[in-house]
Structure 1
Amino acid sequence: MPSTDYVKQIEQWRTQRLARLTAPDGWLSLIGLHWLKPGANTVGSAADSDVVLSKGPAHLGTITWGADGKVRIALAEGSGALIDGKPLASAELLDDGHDAPTRVSFGTASFYLIDREGRKGLRVKDPEAPTRTHFLGLDDFPVDPSWRIEAKWIPFEPARTLEIPTVIGTVEKYPVPGKAVFERDGRTYEILPVIEVPGDKELFVIFADRTSGKETYGAARFLYTPMPKDGRLVIDFNKAYNPPCAFTPYATCPLAPPENRLDLRVTAGEKKYRGAGH
């Protein structure tokens, strides 16, 4: 691919990345993350609530995490909240493991249930979030075609499992179908891509490098690759981007595992967010 076409392709990808990030329902819209306790949890903006929302009705309702593992909500009378856009009095809350988690909305804000290794919480979003309305934009390294690397692909038979810690202290297990081996400046490096969701048509790479914590975000950067073909895996570090936790304290991001901490300065992709205040 000619260099000018390649640069245009990366610039188009970055434009789409920015659009996803800044969408009304994107990662910048997060305004809260509240973990539930088993049993009843009162929810509202009143200070005496078990879950204190930063905005919304003083007494929104009660969320009960039952012994059967199901989570249900009963709205307080007069709360004005809607469940999936309907004025229901109560409902079971489906978590984000479902294609369409149940959404409870109030004013411009809303929340839905998330499950993280058995911990259940409320992810609260609002398109009027300060992180979105005061967003300072993204900074990237200049596009450099040399960082589009065709690595040697060594499959694992059977697939291995990689334990990846998260910013909230949990550990997530991902299948690793193989390893990518590449050379840069005369040295050899290895990286372990994972399968994020069964059936995915791409591989997910969570990595850190010698720029992490300096020019780039310290915890990790993400990128996706096409599936390996003919014993090769294309890793395009120009498409490396910051995880949600680079922009908000309310995300639950995986961190770069030791296996993917490269002793290499990857001067490609997204730089550290200059508006980070957490």
Structure 2
Amino acid sequence: MKYLYYSLALFILSSFITPNDDADYEKEIKEWHKNRIESLKKENGWLNLAGLFWLEEGRNSFGADIENKIIFPTGKSGNFLGEFILSNGEVFIEAKKGAEIYHENEKVEKLKIFPSEKPILLKHHTLRWFVIKRGNKYAIRLRDLDSPFLKEFHGIETFQIDKKWKLKAKFEPTVGKKIAILDVTGQTSQQDSPGKLIFTVAGKEYALDALAEGDELFIIFGDITNKKETYGAGRFVYAAKPDADGFTSLDFNKAYNPPCAFTPYATCPLPPKQNLLPIAISAGEKNYGNH
């Protein structure tokens, strides 16, 4: 009889606690993914990128005409809009008369656009652009609010949500350590790594070097699903900074594709070789398109 009561108690607990916990967790992941999709579609998201143009020292003419050094999309831009001037690490814009280029609703004639206290966004019809710096190179990043990438986007397939991929990870500090991060443009930067996350999958221990980003840890990783079920150049995932005991949660159900999975105009970092896991992480976002 005692065994019957004990079994009944376990049944009641499993009925009212575990399923609810699992349902709440699934709801959390679905909400996270929904927000992720919405962020991609925003004006400052990755789906509307329309060009990445590296500047040469001196004058760089731009517009839709093929005679320009920088050719903006046909039908979206005036033929000759003006020039970008790169001089000793500073970038200026000189607009042609009647070019209809605006900054904060003010028509632009000549303006220093880099460096600046905050990014300067310029507008022309549905186009938006600003300057980015990668290493010692400067580029114009162009957006089109009417981009075909945005129109063709219909979401991202994911693996089935499985709580087993929410892993407890031990944070091992590596004060002063820098790791080499190569990006898709071929440039390498040395970035601070505050520590590594050590975790266990199927009884085996693995580690990932983390980067610091604001109040979180940022991890660029690869695994053996890459080029098959997931994006070929790896994925990203965030983790909270460790608690007082040195532990955090590494949730691969929130692993997501880098911007380069959606557009050829991004400059994504690649996983460092020590972050290439010899296992399949069957969680998070799957590949998008044919990348």
TM-aligned CA deviation for residue 31 of structure 1: 0.6
Matched, 1:272 2:287: yes
Given the alignment, which residue of 46, 69, 88 partners 1:27?
Answer: 46
Q: Tell me the TM-score normalized by structure 1.
A: 0.93
Matched, 1:70 2:90: yes
Distance 1:84 1:51 in 2: 23
| Secondary structure, counterpart of 2:211 in structure 1 | coil
Alignment partner, residue 72 of structure 2:
53
Distance 1:85 1:248 in 2: 28
Alignment partner, residue 262 of structure 2:
247
Alignment partner, residue 240 of structure 2:
226
TM-aligned CA deviation for residue 127 of structure 1: 1.6
Alignment partner, residue 192 of structure 1:
209
What are the ranges of 5 or more consecutive residues in structure 1 without an aligned counterpart? none
Q: Counterparts of 1:125-204 in structure 2 under 5 Å? A: 125-156=143-174, 158-196=175-213, 200-204=214-218
TM-aligned CA deviation for residue 233 of structure 1: 2.3
Distance 2:108 2:155 in 1: 39
Q: Determine which structure has more spread, i.e. the larger CA radius of gyration.
A: 2
More helix by share: 2
TM-aligned CA deviation for residue 102 of structure 1: 1.0
| Secondary structure, counterpart of 1:72 in structure 2 | strand
Distance 2:237 2:219 in 1: 5
Given the alignment, which residue of 22, 25, 38 partners 1:3?
Answer: 22
Given the alignment, which residue of 13, 31, 56 partners 2:32?
Answer: 13
TM-aligned CA deviation for residue 25 of structure 1: 3.1
Distance 2:114 2:119 in 1: 5
1:242-269 Cα distance to aligned partner (Å, 9 max, x none): 0000000000000111010000100000
Distance 2:270 2:222 in 1: 9
What are the ranges of 5 or more consecutive residues in structure 2 without an aligned counterpart? 1-19
State the 4+ residue runs in structure 1 displaced beyond 2 angstroms.
Answer: none
Distance 1:103 1:219 in 2: 30
Q: Is the contact made by 1:25 and 1:126 (CA closer than 8 Å) also made in structure 2?
A: no
Alignment partner, residue 12 of structure 2:
none
Alignment partner, residue 114 of structure 1:
132
